[in-house]
Amino acid sequence: MVIQITDLTKAFGKTTVIQKTSLSIEKGEIFGMLGPSGAGKTTLVKMIAGIEKPSSGEMVIFDQKMPSAEPIQKIGYMAQTDGLYHDLTGEENLSFFSAMYHLKGKKRQERISHVLSLVNLTEHKRKLVRNYSGGMMRRLSLAVALLHEPDLIVLDEPTVGIDPVLRQSIWEELYKLKEMGMTILVTTHVMDEAEKCDRLAMMREGSIIAVGSPAELKKETETETIEQAFLHYGGGVQHAH
Ligand SMILES: Nc1ncnc2c1ncn2[C@@H]1O[C@H](COP(=O)(O)OP(=O)(O)OP(=O)(O)O)[C@@H](O)[C@H]1O
């Protein structure tokens, strides 16, 4: 098991945004967190990525009880808003973040070339990021999250605001990473993306209301689409933009 969460809660002041939540995620899964805006997806994945501290409950990642420094080094996190430097080139951004991960010399060069090719940005590496398209910026953010060879990658709405063709290319990257043995946790409120996950947690108002493969969730609710299944469980709906 890569992630094991038991009775986790999160409150900001008096408002509880994650109700007692338990969840297990296995190695090599593409696990999706689906839910309407404000359901708590970002808060939950931020706790897993070690960015937000739980209010109560237990979290074990790579067999280590959190908080702990060791599992954090095995996690790559891609936030909703990118942390890229727009006045630097793609390659310079990767160099900057490599230094943060303490990657040096030949290893640094190798990792930068590898992640650039993984996200198909090699031929654009010398362009300033401010001249990148939205999709290229998302792909560069993904490359940054992959630099230090994480075993778990946490992606918060990696394809938001991206056209269907580029969305498809990001999903192809994710499948490649899964093949390489990586565990992938991804948030989305786009139904057709949810279909692409091995398993899904449907979230609503700070709670997980159902967990299963897309096929299981549809079978259980006797529905034909994830959107209908979500409605069946009492979730809200948002359409792809
Ligand atoms: N730092 C914070 N302080 C106070 N409330 C917060 C904070 N961060 C998030 N919240 C609240 O927690 C709830 C869940 O927010 P969260 O961002 O986790 O939802 P989400 O499902 O990721 O939504 P979206 O799809 O819009 O990203 C919201 O009501 C939000 O206002």
Pairing of strands 30-34, 183-188: parallel
Residue 163 located in a structural domain: no
Give residue 2's domain range: 1-74+152-158+182-241
* Ligand 1 and 38: CB distance under 6 A: yes
Beta strands 3-12 and 207-212: pairing type? unpaired
ipTM of the complex: 0.95
For 101-133, write each residue's pLDDT tens digit.
889 999 999 999 999 998 889 999 999 999 998
In a domain, 189, yes or no: yes
Distance CA 126, CA 139 (A): 15
- Assigned domain for 144 exists: no
- Atom 16 (ligand 1) nearest CA: 40
Give yes or no for residue 40 CB within 6 A of ligand 1.
yes
> Ligand 1 centroid vs 22 CA: distance in angstroms?
19
Could you list the pLDDT tens digit for every one of the 241 residues in the chain? 999 999 999 999 999 999 999 999 999 999 999 988 899 999 999 999 999 999 999 999 999 999 888 888 899 999 888 889 999 999 999 999 999 888 999 999 999 999 999 888 999 999 999 999 888 898 899 999 999 989 999 999 988 767 787 788 788 889 989 999 999 999 998 888 899 999 999 999 999 999 999 999 999 999 999 989 988 887 655 444 4
165 Cβ contact partners less than 8 Å away, ≥ 6 residues apart: none
CA–CA distance from 238 to each of 14, 156, 213, 226 (Å)?
Answer: 28, 16, 20, 12
Residue 35 in domain? yes
Q: What are phi and psi of 4, to 5 degrees?
A: -135, 115
- Residue 237, in any domain of the structure: yes
Residue 174 belongs to some domain of the structure: no
Count of domains observed in the chain: 1
Structure tokens belonging to residue 144: 């940054």
In a domain, 27, yes or no: yes
Compute, in angstroms, the gap from residue 44 CA to the centroid of ligand 1.
9
What residues contact residue 139 under an 8 Å CB cut-off, 6+ apart? 119, 120, 121, 166, 169, 170, 173
Q: How many CB atoms lie within 10 A of CB 13?
A: 5
Is 177 inside a domain boundary? no
Question: Could you tell me whether strands 30-34 and 152-156 are parallel, antiparallel, or unpaired per DSSP bridges?
Answer: unpaired
Q: Is the CB of 53 under 6 A from ligand 1?
A: no
| Residue 42 Cα to ligand 1 middle (Å) | 7
Dump the DSSP string for 128-149.
BGGGS-HHHHHHHHHHHHHTT-
Give the separation between CA 203 and CA 205, rounded to whole angstroms.
7
Report whether residue 42 contacts ligand 1, using a CB cutoff of 6 Å. Answer: yes
Q: Is 5 exposed, middle or buried (0-12, 13-18, 19+ CB in 10 A)?
A: buried
Determine how β-strand 56-61 pairs with β-strand 3-12.
antiparallel
| CATH number (domain holding residue 216) | 3.40.50.300
